[in-house]
Structure 1
Amino acid sequence: MSDLHFGRDRPELHAPMLAAVNRLQPDLVVISGDLTQRALAGQFRSAQAFISRLDARVLSVPGNHDVPLYNLAQRFFHPWRGFRRAFGPELEPGFSSAELVVAGMNTADPLSWQRGRVRSGSLARACARFRAAPPQALRVLVAHHPFEQAADAGKTPTRGAQEALRRLRACGLDIVLTGHLHKWSVGPYRRLRAGAGALQIQAGTGLSTRQRGEENDFNLITREGPRLSVTRYVATPDGFVALPVLHMHRSGSGWAGQEEGGTGS
């Protein structure tokens, strides 16, 4: 899930989302940034209270909205203070098991309004996690800002995305989970050659009123051998409801997808 934006959230969706996620019993819940709207203490407390009601382990990274906007002294000198107080000191947390290795990456830039950037230290830490992973493990990166986006996305592209993908692919990257655009999408990288062979899974906004023409949503990702299934859950008056499953399969030429009951793409 991504872009919860506490402070601009929809309280009527809290209980339905918690019920849906807890019913699915995931091994890990990933939140790819923008947990708050303006990085205020009360907003962090609300996000923390919501996350505490999730039964699974949670891994979250900051987004650009999790940096103070109007408190310039804190923005430039202590930009991560609120996030760390709410969610712990680690801005780039990780998760490891025999089947899955997840590396969090902080792409938020306190010196920018909304544009993300990839830091060399972040790349080194993610690559170290991926290189240490068991051969059969799926290697997943979590970042707020997408490394590739449509030309009409209305957001400035992430700085350093091409070089980051090149290095991450060399370290074994399989999947990137991102948010920021409030638009759902799943597919292989097409514009950035360095991303060839990797899959980008984009979540929309989980709880906020800033929907940009799409439903509030979250993704369920399951793996069975070389097959990956992505189920989008969208908010309805009856709770979060699953849409048709997108089945992804990786071969030597990269990832290809087929919707349940549909044809390959």
Structure 2
Amino acid sequence: MITLFHVSDVHFGAEDPQAIAWFGERVTAERPDAVIMTGDLTMRATRSEFERGGAWLRSLGVPVTLEIGNHDIPYYWDPFRRLFAPYQRYAAVEKMIERELDLPGVTIVPLKTIARAQWRWNWSKGRVGAGSLRRALAMIDAAPKDRLIFVAAHHPLIEGPTKGTASTRNGDGALTALAEAGAHAVLSGHVHDPFDVPVARAGRTIRMIGAGTLSKRTRHSPPAFNEIRVHNGGFETIARTMGGDAAVIGDATADVGRLS
């Protein structure tokens, strides 16, 4: 069995120290095969926040791959840096960003859903660019055909069962294209509440999986992360909340026939 810990929206600068410590304790005790971090490692994309976040991720002692969230590029009030040098402060985490993981039976495919600028007021919302989607589809095509394909993005591509929204432009079409290409799930964050919902696309079932937050910016759920257990060609998602509660929120075992 392969065990993945899916964590998101830690927001160093507004992190919850107890939640951070709790997650680290679970990693040390359970030793997952990898940690998938789906963005918003920082709150304001400062160098010190990246340094603290990078040190925390390295301290986990397991392979980590990191996708970038909307809080991980400079805010609107720093327009020059946001537009022309948004990745200048990433040095502390650069080697973890979209890092390729060697996992038996599983391929992680990154999909960027952030944008430096958009033709709408709220630039925190998601956007799938044509180039980002082409790159993800090419990686899926190159992956061994017997692998489960998990796409790692920051924003949910379509709205899930949460109060928080992503409003991801081009997300619905991207989800269909990813399903048609053979992706089995899209892992995301942004909305700060966990979920796992099956979606029918291109004659297949693809799952939308969202992680909670380890920050003080909780919404309906307490601090949480997802445990994804891969076994027998399928997988299940378990929402792990601080305080000891764990609940299966999605089981793709029944979808194995539709996943191939």
TM-score (norm 1): 0.85
Match of 2:253 in 1: 249
* Of 198, 207, 210, the match for 2:217: 210
Query: What SS does the corresponding residue of 2:89 show, helix, strand or coil?
Result: helix
Distance 1:202 1:195 in 2: 22
Distance 1:149 1:37, change over 3 A: same
SS at match of 1:140: strand
Over residues 24-78 of structure 1, what are the superposed CA-to-partner deviations in whole Å (9 max), with x where a residue is unaligned?
Answer: 2111100000000110111111101111111110000110000111322111101
- 1:242/1:55 Cα in 2 relative to 1: closer, same or farther (>3 Å)? farther
Name structure 2 gaps, 5 residues minimum.
1-6
Q: How many residues align?
A: 247
Q: Is 2:33 the counterpart of 1:27?
A: yes
Contact 1:219/1:232 (<8 A) preserved: yes
Displacement, 1:91?
A: 4.8
Q: How much is the aligned-residue C-alpha RMSD, in angstroms?
A: 2.2
The answer to whether structure 1 residue 103 and structure 2 residue 109 are counterparts is: yes
1:95 shift after superposition: 2.7
Return the alpha-carbon distance in structure 1 between the equivalents of residues 188 and 168 of structure 2: 12
% of aligned pairs identical? Answer: 32
Does 1:197 pair with 2:205?
yes
Structure 1 unmatched ranges of 5 or more: 256-265
Q: Report deviation, 1:213.
A: 2.6
Match of 1:229 among 236, 239, 258: 236
Contact map agreement 1:106 1:144 (CA 8 A) in 2: yes
Q: How many angstroms apart in 1 are the aligned matches of 2:232 and 2:67?
A: 27
TM-score (norm 2): 0.87
**8 Å Cα contact 1:197/1:253 also seen in 2:** no
- What is the rounded CA distance, in whole Å, between the counterparts of 1:90 and 1:244 in structure 2? 29
Task: Find the counterpart in structure 2 of residue 160 from structure 1.
Answer: 170
Instruction: Give SS of 1:198's match.
Output: strand
Aligned pairs for 1:131-142 within 5 A: 131-142=141-152
Q: Which has the higher contact order (CA 8 A, sep 6+)?
A: 2
Contact 1:162 1:194 in 2 (8 A): no
